Chain A
């Protein structure tokens, strides 16, 4: 899967989970500071990403990711 496809699907999931439009979510956005995702919402996001790509991720590694761009990097690497 190409990186662009990974990013598009991730942002769609984020938009759905966070109640935003996809074009409101930028690569540099910080989940906690810019997108107001608290600790439970962060876990729910990772759970939704897992469901989207039908994979299971390492909990500690996934929850260290703090930005949208970081999430794209993380899943792009994982899905290669």
Chain B
């Protein structure tokens, strides 16, 4: 092995084209992804995401609501309005779907539509039977999702049908939708555990045939539902778990175009976000998500994670207002009473809070060392430190300076805050404390040791 020469440089190479800090880190690709399908090599071009209309569809009010007590009409209307601001005018959050089964569901749809917002578009969700279709018609929706379960687990064990009976029933409801001028979106439930060649492909081919002569706004959409989180986005995984193979068959063997393909995942194996992002890469345009990943059992792809991913892939904010993530998280926690884990990315209380003294030291010197991107500008969430026996004098100095709003030369040195750090350490070493020091307690210490600065900073904090 020959040793590569060290490039000793006078200035740091911060690789700013990938880590601009003003945006989440950029994702770039270098070449095509190869996959073996039916013994032959096929290619996927990940760079196509730059040009394609990749976007997010939301199911906070449908799948998201299956994991929690029902939202009130007012709560849903407020969340709908906030989703619209979050996704921006380009409609990155393109659609959101609603149950239509209760009076509250239907009144909420009306209230949301009455806001007059362009995005997200309102769509429905029904089980695939003709009786339920009446609800969509009465609400005057342009598109509805319908449950079309695909695996034999569902067809044989849940529906007690043969494949033929199931397919005929699904096609019948789709025809009814088309007759009413409503776009059908078929949710291929449990598709990652289904017989692709024996049922899924023949069914989707028939769906495509049904709408091939329809105008674009009525052509069938396909939602690929990874109901149990079995999907795998690694290359060359065997079917039916392979996400790239599934997408390829939908496009190449069934003729479903990327603008009519959608991915819907579940987090049973901790793969929910990366599978959604992978589906974008492998060729669907829409990834179905919920706010904070709330959804049936382990949840769905988190909407805010998908937004950050989309920005990284597009290298552009795309009109997204990420600060709304912070506003919505506050709303969920204060008004709805939902719990968001403190370490939850982008929205948890401590997602960019460090407790390690060595990290706090880095943050004090340059926040880019230990902050993922400019979270103050993009999320309205500057990086923070939490004070424990591990946060060190650096942690205390950062906390105190940020609390007092001191900048540049005015920031207090480690020596100035040493007495507070000694108090912190005494709490653990002499008092036997096992819990973190609260913000309120540190504030009291600041008041004690820096009374003038504390008084002066009061106005800023109001």
Contact = CB atoms under 8 A, between A and B. Distances in A.
Interface string A25-62: 00000000000000110011011001000001101001
Given A40-B425, A56-B413, A59-B413, A47 B393 contact: no
Between A39, A40, A62, the greatest number of chain B beta carbons within 10 A of the residue's beta carbon is seen for A40
Between B392, B415, B419, the greatest number of chain A beta carbons within 10 A of the residue's beta carbon is seen for B415
A79 interface: no
Contacts of A63: 414
Contacts of B392: 39-40
Contacts, number: 29
A59 B425 CA distance: 21
A39 B393 CA distance: 9
A10 B413 CA distance: 20
Contacts of B416: 47
B165 to A, nearest CB: 73
A15 B180 CA distance: 91
A40 B418 contact: yes
B59 interface: no
A63 B419 CA distance: 17
Nearest to A49: B415
B422 interface: yes
Interface in B398-439: 413-416, 418-419, 421-422, 425
B111 to A, nearest CB: 57
Contacts of A43: 393, 414-415, 418, 421
Contacts of A44: 415, 418, 422
B415 A40 contact: no
A59 B415 contact: yes
Contacts of A50: 415
A47 B425 contact: no
Nearest to B392: A39
A46 B415 contact: yes
A57 B415 CA distance: 9
A65 to B, nearest CB: 13
A46 B417 CA distance: 12
Interface of B: 392-393, 413-416, 418-419, 421-422, 425
Interface of A: 39-40, 43-44, 46-47, 50, 56-57, 59, 62-63
The 3 closest A-B pairs by CB, nearest first: A47-B415, A59-B413, A47-B418
26 contacts: A39-B392, A40-B392, A40-B393, A40-B421, A40-B422, A40-B425, A43-B393, A43-B414, A43-B415, A43-B418, A43-B421, A44-B415, A44-B418, A44-B422, A46-B415, A47-B416, A47-B418, A47-B419, A50-B415, A56-B413, A57-B415, A59-B413, A59-B414, A59-B415, A62-B415, A63-B414
Given A43-B421, A44-B418, 4 more contacts: A44-B415, A50-B415, A56-B413, A62-B415
